[in-house]
Structure 1
């Protein structure tokens, strides 16, 4: 048997030989051995066609153009070598290189330059290395245009890249504890198939269940964050509040109730400090309630049993009230007349200050002498009433006008006023000392207040003092400053356990205040220390003092107790009338708590700290500066109050180690709207109870409003910006802005071209009158100017009144007098107030701009009179141009948008409209 030996095959050359290696150790071996030559690297000249080929060894002497081949290229291919020479210029290169000149420049792709045997063909696959050259380094890759030279690294990336691990199979539908537990067990079955323990006490199962619990919590947190991110899906009250604020809608937390409390005293007078007074509604389960004062112990029991507490509101900065016995029941003076009343709309009354001096009777028996005024006795008489401007007064009906029984008095006939003028007078007839009091027109009496009547037969006796005036009146609102308990654990810790890590600077502050723990225990308020850490700012210049920073861990705080009281500030200006004191807007209410915070030595002591440590409650912090001590109160779903302070940009940020104290007030909402005669207890915080002092609220408390619900906010907030427009573009916009004036009951507008630009012609309807005062017109124009569109003029004028011509034919039933029915018709169709005090059919406040007059409404009004059998409209037309007998075909007399119907039926002014009645039937 013979063996055949094959001849050695040719070793292939090229630029992409396998395997691909990142560490080319063969290159260094070739350089050191000197046996074989090869290409080290290739340089491309600036002209793009000159190449400098650097070799490991010397340049072969016989190398020529036929030995240099260039392959590759994408857009430019088939590059040819024009010349080959040895380059010996050390100024251009560090070593000798082979200079190769090509016919043209290549493109951006990679080319391959090889030094081959001249006998090699044109096919790169058959090229053979130049004699004496290593086959693996007979070729070198080159690029004519380098995109990475300026900004990127041209180093070759790692050739052998490990394939990425496959992603684990995860069940993304797992969202709760059970599914996460099963997911972890399935994963462990793949990663550790040998572990098959499934008993609960096993440590592996315990770890799996801990991870499942954590994943379940994170999944819930993820869903909760996504839910609270939108107004429509948010469920937390604080989230909804912040979303609504983004669209300029302020969510309100309700408002407390206000009431008037009258104090009565049997004799003398007493001065009470308003800050020491508490007015209470007894607990619901309280038996045998006796009106009057209660002791401190009874106050504590009443609070614990759920009594509602009201506190006085200081009007115009008042700090005390003087209770005068004569103010408990003040007689309304009738000047000796009978069957008297204070009519509706009254803004003044005369009060009896002191009765007339006694007048001796004449010697004639059986004859009564007319009383005469004794000037000397009048001069020496003492006034009992001490009413002043700004005092509150309650006018109250105390006896039933028909029976004289107090139980029959109309409880709705009670009205509170605030005095604007007090004038002392004397009755010249009998010398009675009088006091004339006046009040604001907006506090005008809303009903007829009876003063004296005659009882029905057979008694027929005169009944006086049917109504009285009550002084000693306080304005109170619902809410109680409940004593709190200060948290003193960090302050009262032993010196060795003082925590300077969480409360920086605490040990130094306590060293300067040895009795800090005693002060803290005596502080009956809610207080806390701000936790945080101490940090040092970087040095900004050589030798500078390093700044010490104390950022807080959390600037929020939750106040104990619910519900927090929200109340509006009192109106600005002195002597605000009752109508302004009792108008409530829950969106303007602010939380009722006093917050002081800062350095421990500036805040921790008995009494009120200095004003520099006081923090103000705001609706938001959008307008607060970095040094403004402002905070926001946010109520959560459980009613707890969260304090949110600034971040150092929007509002001042509390510093770690600061001490805060808050005096909170609790009591809010509609629960404070108690009925009349409910506030019957008075307590003084000092404990000294005056004898005989009895409080009562003749009027019910009002204004208490529940907090806005989340459903209401989600309903109203998206369109809130439309409720407060800032520009008038159309005619309706001008009319809407003008109608905001309280002195108007309607407005209309048209945009008229005046030859150069448009003019907003605003027509207004004043409330309670037909003429437009010039001052009111100027005020409306001035108020409209900020809203007007550029290029629009504004003109304000009164409405055009259209007098009407009306004739009704009325048929009366046989059993009724025609004169009585006609008198009732004239009363109903008057332009003023009817006999019962209601507005007539053609009263100016019942006729609006552009409101048509309906024949059916006229017939219905007349037909409502008892005794009218039939009504027919004979004439319904405008007085200017209309004729008798005209009635619109559809029974509707149209009025233009800038016109108001007028029918005064005044004989002195027949041009203001007239109505006639043609009577038939009756007797």
Structure 2
């Protein structure tokens, strides 16, 4: 407790002397009544002067031995000062009659004016004068009684003013205010306020608070309720009142602060985050990359009257200007709602590549079957289409009339040549050259294509190949765009693109021809129209006049000088950019102005139909390529919207459940089987003398000259520490089999033999099943059981009896055949795979002979 001057006061803590206190007496109210009365006084409060400990060269003053008793009105009466103080001032110890207690005694008592005055007083030293002069203000010294005590322990005391006989209440002093409890200890320095709360802990009822009422209206109501308690006389609720204005201001700020606190707590967890940026970062911590969609792709065909160089980024749209008017620029067309595609590579358009008719060699009603990977085209003798391996052609059914609109839209295919065309000679066409085309097996025809009409008098071609073909993806480029804010300020620079709808596109570069292992990119024309949204990157470039900044999925692992940034789109398609901090990624220099070149588009909106992109827009420099016709015979595909947040939460949460390590032999086998081009795999652990070696044996697909792409690196990232991985190629063991059968009654031997060859083949059966010797049914190291072979043969309808006459490896002698028949199996080691393709063109892969049994 402190007085009006901020000094500590003694607190009430015991029972008074010579007076029975009134229960529940309000001392403050009583003092107010005494202050209004005349000729009556009492004790207001008691101040314990702390004193100062002695220091070298500086004498100290007594600590907690001097009491400053403040009266309500004053002045200090003369009968209480001087020598009479010992009889008229009583200090009662709370310890009672305890003989071990040191009772407190009064040595002297004077008014503060007397103590600080010039006249000497008995027992008062110079240090006492300085102590009282520093502690008691001059304006109140007339009503302050300074009491010097001696003795007294650490207990509650009661200071009382008594009558001449040591009892009762002095004349002119109010009875209830003639005494006051206090707590002090002589010569015991205390620097803390010793006041305790007036109410005991837990006695005050806690108000019922609604911690959810943190919006503007709830906070405003709470503030008004509180002020009604503190300022009951203030009842003005006018909006013009300054108090109401301040309350509403505080309620607004509280509402904003509460919203920010809730938002921070919400975005802190993957399951509750609502912003795409927050979900993306949480998922990245779980090693899951969230994609932002992908732009659609399509193949464009151009018809040009002359040789023309088409630059990369040439734009086409599904709508243009009015007939006879110049097409609008790219930005204007995109702003008008047109679907704009831009070419992914530069190309040289040639008149000789406009239309290449398929050649039927004079036959009528010729068709290319489903699965075909080759065809012939006829070109004029003086023309040079310049076809090379890697070129993409569009095979389009144009019908009997020769127009694109006259053909069947479902009979259109894109193919990529996997070798240079071979020139053939048709002696019936002296004025034309015939080129044999062969394309990638991934572009095997999904539908039949008619090559010529059934008219014997005019077998004109009904399918033509367009060779002026360029890949394009969805997106309209904008150049010279400023960010918001445009210049870099001190601190973190987080600008926003001024136009929403940034396009994300997967890399569109093709892989080298014939490459099936190491390079990224599409290998077939069909694969080019299936972009992977997980590989899509933001179509955005920044330039600050010195450096070119490129987009990156994240800045993890980036050096301090890497000019990279991360584009972070939100649900409304606005995009905010995040740069490095100078340690992970480069920090833009203060004051730098970055200009942006980006593309708008992407998503499923780009999956436009065929023959819709027919308007060639001006080039970025304003040049318009006149006389060139363009269209997209195939529908655009691959356009993907940004990944939904619920899907991201589910996939990211399951990331830890994926096994990305190899411990057992089965784990290594599973990793190897997951690699592209691996048909079978097996693994075993062996001791190399100083360490463990995990030997992985793989059987790659036909035509592969080496192991599957990246298999060694994949196994190295999955292996257990301290285990070395050894790759080995499986050894193919061809078989030599001979089966004699007896047909059942009512079945032809030729029919049964044909069915047996089909059932025991290595091909896919017409009904969708697999032959007995299909590679998927033969595991590494698995022996061939005689009972399995006989059971598969007897399962063929019409087979009455089966006799296996040869049963061994290719080239084995008769002794091995007899031994295998007796054992009932052909054994294989862990690195061997049995094979019996029974293909006359490839006898090295095994053969099976099926004959009708003669005799009993």
TM-score in same-fold range (> 0.5): yes
Q: CA 1:303/1:582 → structure 2, altered by over 3 Å: closer, same or farther?
A: closer
2:253 alignment partner in structure 1: 214
2:532 alignment partner in structure 1: 585
Q: CA 1:454/1:825 → structure 2, altered by over 3 Å: closer, same or farther?
A: farther
Aligned-residue offset at 1:853? 11
Aligned-residue offset at 1:905? 4.9
1:595 alignment partner in structure 2: 542
Render the CA deviation track for 1:30-54: whole Å, top value 9, x for unaligned. x99xxxx99999xxxxxxxxxxxxx
The answer (yes or no) to whether the contact 2:414–2:443 under 8 Å persists in 1 is no
CA distance in 2, matches of 1:909, 1:420: 27
1:38-117 to 2 correspondence within 5 Å? Answer: none
The answer (yes or no) to whether the contact 2:566–2:577 under 8 Å persists in 1 is yes
Q: CA 1:583/1:879 → structure 2, altered by over 3 Å: closer, same or farther?
A: farther
2:777 alignment partner in structure 1: 847
1:272-287 to 2 correspondence within 5 Å? Answer: 272-275=309-312, 277-282=314-319
CA distance in 1, matches of 2:653, 2:851: 55
2:269 alignment partner in structure 1: 230
Q: Say if 2:355 is the partner of 1:329.
A: yes
The answer (yes or no) to whether the contact 1:39–1:138 under 8 Å persists in 2 is no
1:526 alignment partner in structure 2: 482
2:414 alignment partner in structure 1: 415
Render the CA deviation track for 1:437-478: whole Å, top value 9, x for unaligned. 6666455534586565673xxx65563424322111111111
CA distance in 1, matches of 2:577, 2:783: 56
Q: CA 1:787/1:216 → structure 2, altered by over 3 Å: closer, same or farther?
A: closer
Q: Say if 2:696 is the partner of 1:762.
A: yes
1:150 alignment partner in structure 2: none
1:481 alignment partner in structure 2: 477
CA distance in 1, matches of 2:628, 2:403: 27
Aligned-residue offset at 1:181? 3.1
Q: Say if 2:762 is the partner of 1:831.
A: yes
CA distance in 1, matches of 2:198, 2:595: 59
Aligned-residue offset at 1:750? 3.0
Q: Say if 2:715 is the partner of 1:784.
A: yes
The answer (yes or no) to whether the contact 1:842–1:904 under 8 Å persists in 2 is no
1:184 alignment partner in structure 2: 223
Render the CA deviation track for 1:712-736: whole Å, top value 9, x for unaligned. 11111133356583x5322233223
Render the CA deviation track for 1:395-449: whole Å, top value 9, x for unaligned. 3344489x99985647245122146535667667765553646666455534586
CA distance in 1, matches of 2:262, 2:220: 19
CA RMSD of aligned residues (A): 5.5
Give 2:303's match in structure 1, choosing from 237, 259, 264.
264
Render the CA deviation track for 1:514-536: whole Å, top value 9, x for unaligned. xxxxxxxxxx523455567xxxx
SS of the counterpart of 1:734?
helix
Render the CA deviation track for 1:567-598: whole Å, top value 9, x for unaligned. 1233476667435644522222111122122x
1:366 alignment partner in structure 2: none
Aligned-residue offset at 1:201? 6.0
CA distance in 1, matches of 2:793, 2:210: 74
Give 1:794's match in structure 2, choosing from 714, 726, 743.
726
SS of the counterpart of 1:665?
strand
The answer (yes or no) to whether the contact 1:529–1:659 under 8 Å persists in 2 is no
Q: CA 1:752/1:684 → structure 2, altered by over 3 Å: closer, same or farther?
A: same
Q: CA 1:338/1:751 → structure 2, altered by over 3 Å: closer, same or farther?
A: farther
Q: Say if 2:651 is the partner of 1:716.
A: yes
CA distance in 2, matches of 1:195, 1:809: 115
Q: Could you tell me the TM-score, scaled by structure 1's length? A: 0.60
1:616 alignment partner in structure 2: 550
Q: CA 1:329/1:873 → structure 2, altered by over 3 Å: closer, same or farther?
A: farther
Aligned-residue offset at 1:744? 1.4
SS of the counterpart of 2:600?
coil
CA distance in 1, matches of 2:581, 2:442: 47
Give 1:312's match in structure 2, choosing from 337, 343, 362.
343
Q: Say if 2:480 is the partner of 1:551.
A: no
Count of residues in correspondence between the two structures: 675
Q: Could you tell me the TM-score, scaled by structure 2's length? A: 0.64
SS of the counterpart of 1:21?
strand
Q: CA 1:463/1:439 → structure 2, altered by over 3 Å: closer, same or farther?
A: closer
2:85 alignment partner in structure 1: none
SS of the counterpart of 1:244?
helix
Q: CA 1:312/1:667 → structure 2, altered by over 3 Å: closer, same or farther?
A: same
1:735 alignment partner in structure 2: 669
Q: CA 1:710/1:817 → structure 2, altered by over 3 Å: closer, same or farther?
A: same
CA distance in 1, matches of 2:276, 2:375: 51
SS of the counterpart of 1:525?
strand
The answer (yes or no) to whether the contact 1:238–1:634 under 8 Å persists in 2 is yes
Q: Say if 2:783 is the partner of 1:750.
A: no
Q: CA 1:344/1:876 → structure 2, altered by over 3 Å: closer, same or farther?
A: farther
Give 1:706's match in structure 2, choosing from 630, 641, 654.
641
Render the CA deviation track for 1:499-521: whole Å, top value 9, x for unaligned. xxxxxxxxxxxxxxxxxxxxxxx
1:445 alignment partner in structure 2: 444
SS of the counterpart of 1:179?
helix
The answer (yes or no) to whether the contact 2:559–2:584 under 8 Å persists in 1 is yes
SS of the counterpart of 2:278?
helix
SS of the counterpart of 2:557?
coil
1:395 alignment partner in structure 2: 395
More deviation, 560-569/824-833: 824-833
The answer (yes or no) to whether the contact 1:281–1:309 under 8 Å persists in 2 is yes
1:677 alignment partner in structure 2: 611
Aligned-residue offset at 1:564? 0.9
SS of the counterpart of 1:831?
coil
Render the CA deviation track for 1:662-684: whole Å, top value 9, x for unaligned. 12211101221223323222222
Q: CA 1:759/1:158 → structure 2, altered by over 3 Å: closer, same or farther?
A: closer
CA distance in 1, matches of 2:53, 2:624: 110
Stretches of structure 2 that go unaligned for 5 or more consecutive residues are 1-44, 65-97, 108-121, 125-146, 154-186, 514-520, 809-818
2:234 alignment partner in structure 1: 195
The answer (yes or no) to whether the contact 2:276–2:571 under 8 Å persists in 1 is yes
CA distance in 2, matches of 1:175, 1:303: 45
Aligned-residue offset at 1:644? 1.5
Aligned-residue offset at 1:618? 1.3
